Amino acid sequence: MANKVLVTGGCGFLGSHVCELFRKEGWDVVSFDNMTKYELKRTGYGTDATRDYNWNYLKSIGVTMVKGDIRNLEHLMDRSADCDYIIHTAAQPAMTISWEDPELDFSTNVIGTFNVMEAARKHKIPVVNTSSIHVYGNSINDSLKEDKTSYVREPVEIPVTHPTMVGQISPLHASKMSAEHYVRSYTDMYGVKAASFRFTGIYGERQFGGEDHGWVANFAIRSVFGLPLRIFGTGKQTRDILHAEDGAKSYLEFFKNPIPGVYNIGGASPHKISLLECIYLIGEILGKKQEILFEVERPGDMRYFICDISEAKKFGFNPKILPKEGVTRLLKWIEANQEVFNIAGK
């Protein structure tokens, strides 16, 4: 009998790649998603079509589709009852939305994660919580030195032992860190095989990114459609971007070797790129020069983060898709699916 996994937020960007990978691996997969589009409303990309695109794609490859909300514990318990694994990707992911609607942020990221942990405890199955490098705060900004294209810092790669929740903190920082505390408590008190994955710079096909969330895809989409690109700050902000295919594999590797803990999940130094370098790469691939608009830096934004992934390597995580290959794949997908974005005049 095949293993069975429940993926919360399965119709989201990362969740859809997780569902796809586990289906390819022969698993029975359940996508559990409430189909809201809060983070998509301000993109102008035809949001009625975006999340539905992922729903229809996953259904076509044999994923069991469930419309459900992680804040509904009874429904979550019922749908995870016969599963061997829970992958928790459902979240309120945008810092800007957390400013505007902190209750939504709290109920989704804290209560929702608590419910996921309760389901894992009751059913005695492993679980991974999808966290974020936002939990480190932004004090790293205070000790940066600049070169011509990006921010640099020593040490270049930042470990999971780095201080968290320092600098200017938003509700998103608070909710993501609170969720991590609950995950750890369920390991310590109940023996749940659980981990929190702190992702950075995740991107790839089927990502409908905007200025609030998903910056690589946002730049790619706007470049394909010839729209101006807006940068908040200097453009030297730097991340180690990670293609979603590599990100999805991290969950599979953890199931094979479930070592509880907190892990940075990113591309590390080989995947380092600044906002401007990413824009130039997109323009080079497309053969066009984009219009760039600069605005003042937003409060709470982190200027620099490169993951030290040495701890995640212990359970088998090994990202392989470098930025040029990954961005090229993303651009080809956008060009082949332009009708999904429903941009006026295009």
Give the relative orientation of helices 275-286 and 215-224 as an angle to the nearest 10 degrees: 30
Give residue 43's pLDDT.
61
With tokens 């694994």, the residue in question is 85
Give residue 300's pLDDT.
64
Give residue 209's pLDDT.
80
- Alpha carbons within 13 angstroms on the beta-carbon side of residue 132 total 27
Torsional class of 86: left (φ above 0), alpha (ψ -120 to 50), beta (otherwise): beta
Interior angle at CA 306, CA 181 and CA 183, nearest 5 = 15
Report d(CA 120, CA 85) in Å as an integer.
8
Give residue 171's pLDDT.
87
Do the beta carbons of residue 101 and residue 169 sit within 8 Å?
no
Report d(CA 6, CA 346) in Å as an integer.
37
> Whole-prediction pTM value?
0.91
Give residue 210's pLDDT.
76
Domains and CATH numbers, the chain: 4-341 (3.40.50.720)
Give residue 99's pLDDT.
76
- For every one of its 346 residues, what pLDDT tens digit does the chain have, with 9 covering 90 and above? 889 999 999 999 999 999 999 999 999 999 999 998 655 565 666 556 766 889 999 999 999 999 999 999 999 999 999 999 999 999 887 677 777 888 899 999 999 999 999 999 999 999 999 999 889 887 655 544 555 455 554 447 999 999 998 887 888 889 999 999 999 999 999 999 999 999 999 999 998 887 667 899 999 999 999 999 999 999 988 999 999 999 999 999 999 999 999 999 999 999 999 999 999 999 999 999 999 999 988 776 778 889 999 999 999 999 999 999 999 999 999 999 988 886 654 4
With tokens 């459609």, the residue in question is 225
**265, burial (CB in 10 Å: exposed 0-12, middle 13-18, buried 19+):** buried
Nearest to 303 by CA among 144, 99, 96, 174: 144
Contacts of 243 by beta carbon, 8 Å cutoff, 6+ apart: 202, 203, 204, 267, 319, 321, 325, 326, 329
Nearest to 129 by CA among 144, 115, 145: 115
Q: Is the peptide bond before 93 cis (omega within 30 degrees of 0)?
A: no
Nearest to 326 by CA among 235, 251, 241: 241
